[in-house]
Amino acid sequence: MLPGFSPEDRRVWLLIGAITLITLLFLPYSQFVLGVRYDYTLRTVAIGGSLLGIISGVLGCFAVLRQQSLMGDALSHAALPGVAIAFLLAGRELGFLLIGAGVASWLGVQFIRLLTDTTRIKQDTAMGIVLASWFAAGIALLAYIQARPDASQAGLDTFIFGQAAAIVEKDVRLIAGIGLATMFLLVLFWKEFKLITFDAEFAGANGFRVNLFSTLLSTLIVVAIVLGLQLAGVIMMVGMLIAPGIAARQWTNKLTQMVTLAAIFGGFSGGVGAIISALDTDLPTGPMIIVVAFLLVVISISIAPQRGLIWQLLRQRQDQKRFAAQMVLDDLFHYAYDHDSLSTVVPESFLKGMRGSAVKQGLQQLVNKDQVQPVNGGWQLTEAGRQAAADNATNTLMWDLYRQYNQTLDLPLIAEDRQRDIRELLPETAIHKLEKILQEELA
């Protein structure tokens, strides 16, 4: 595996390592700076929260990549009646509640598929129908359960908004067990899942059983949703499922890296959200997790290398600056050229009329490079400026010639980027050929 690493890959892995370290720093930070005491209960809650966050973060990647984010929303709402019925039949036993939730979600998926297959109703409407009516059934059943005289229904509400404090050690073991099983399946069928996620048609054409693996992957996602319900609650579950994946997607273009990073982000938001809400009974867990996860998304979208908004903005600014200087230089050169002497003083109003507000920036840069100088209210090219402008003009002409003759002269193919010096991009022989044509044309 190691020899196959490209420098790009290595950089991202290093970045992931650094992010992991930073997230782990939360533990000592909370302990020594914020004064959180990790007693037995809080440890259980924190571990349970991070485990659930990791599982849903990892599987959520596939939901994000397959553009099924809203399916996650529908499925988590659809789990509620299953929880209520399981409670009616078996009491508050986590295993049964999860099975009930899973069955109800699964029925929801099947109903959506049946509806879209047999009618002209589109998938989004079908999801809306299942989401609303399954949820209503759950609410109706909960209201019925709450009207019962015995108080044992306490704790069912946690499935709506999530309640980290309700997680006990037995639950953590169950979560860890199911989590390991899903991760095992994920690793086992990694190649297949990757293929159907990115190119289902290609997979089908090559004899992969797309339907089978697609169902298996959906089932795993249902498992992640159902497990996460007790932490995030039915309404906020979709956020916990997809937010880590969306954040991770910004840092990398590789599935392995994305899934690893999503696990870290998921674990962090699950753990931190659980801890915060366990410390303060007023704060429901689900919303806290969503807020933490969303912060991670905002950070990722802003600062992730290359894709991040900040870098995009900086790149734009840089381009603008570079263009500004070049444009102003061009304008000066042509004005002076048209007035027969390259030492003509060009009035600033002319430049402003041509380019507007970018002129000031451009002139400043040109002055810094000593290419122009102010002369009584106008601007004049210096010796260096004339040279640079002439070079630019030649470069532009060379690009024009390249575009015109690259096929007839059999020149090497390069991407057209007129801001760059063509002499740096083409081999010397090619430049000679172009220069010869240039001489002829000028003559």
Partner 1 sequence: MFEIEGLFIKFLLNFFSNLEINTFLRSPQNTATIIGGLIAISGALLGTFLLLRGMSLTSDAISHTVLLGIVVAFMVLTQLLGQEPDLSSPWLIIGAAAAGVATVVLTEAIYRSGLVKQDAALGLAFPLMFAIAVILVSRFVQDVHMDEDAVMIGEIGVAWADTNSHCLENCEAVTITPDSPEAEFSRQCTNCRELGIGPRDEGAVFSEQCSNCGEYSPAQAWQAGLLETEPLLIFWPKSITVMTLITLLTLAFVLVFFKELKLSTFDPALAAALGFRPGVLHYALMVTISLVAVGAFEAVGSILVIAFFIIPPAAAYILTDNLSRMLVISSLIGAAGAYFGYDLARGSVLGLFQVDAVLRGLNRAFDLKLAETWNSSISASMVLMMFLFFFAAWVLSPKYGLLSTWLRRQNQEKNFDIQVILAHIFNHEGTDKEREELAVGTLYHHFRWPASTTRRMIDQLLSNDLIYIKDGIVRLTSDGKERVEVFRETQLARETVIQ
Nearer to partner 1, 203 or 296 (CB): 296
What is the spatial distance between Cα 175 and Cα 374, in angstroms, rounded to a whole number? 73
Instruction: For residue 348, give Cα distances in angstroms to 343, 352, 376, 378.
Output: 15, 6, 10, 5
For the CB of residue 338, give the shortest distance to partner 1 in the complex, in Å.
42
* Closest C-alpha to 160, from 143, 179, 177, 178: 143
Closest approach of partner 1 to the CB of residue 130, in Å:
9
Q: Which is nearer to partner 1, 283 or 437 (CB)?
A: 283
Which residues neighbour 296 within 8 Å (Cβ) at sequence distance 6 or greater?
243, 244, 247, 265, 268, 269
Nearer to partner 1, 73 or 331 (CB): 73
Nearer to partner 1, 58 or 359 (CB): 58
Residue 240 to residues 98, 309, 374, Cα–Cα distance (Å):
17, 23, 60
| Residue closer to partner 1 (CB basis): 131 or 264 | 131
CB of 128 to partner 1, least distance (A): 4
CB of 75 to partner 1, least distance (A): 12
By beta-carbon proximity to partner 1, the closer residue of 44 and 230 is 230
413: amino acid identity, one letter? L
The residue type found at 247 is A
In the complex, least distance from residue 259 CB atom to partner 1, rounded to whole angstroms: 16
Binding interface with partner 1 (CB under 8 A): 64, 67-70, 72-73, 77, 88-89, 115, 118-122, 124-125, 127-129, 131-133, 135-137, 139-144, 147-149, 160-161, 235-236, 238-239, 242-243, 246, 250, 282-284, 286-288, 290-291, 294, 297, 301, 307, 309
Rounded Cα gap, residues 263 and 245, in angstroms: 8
In the sheet with 346-347, reading across from the earlier edge strand, the strands are 346-347, 378-381, 372-375
* Positive or negative: CA dihedral 253, 56, 236, 172: negative
| Smallest distance, partner 1 to C-beta of residue 114, A | 9
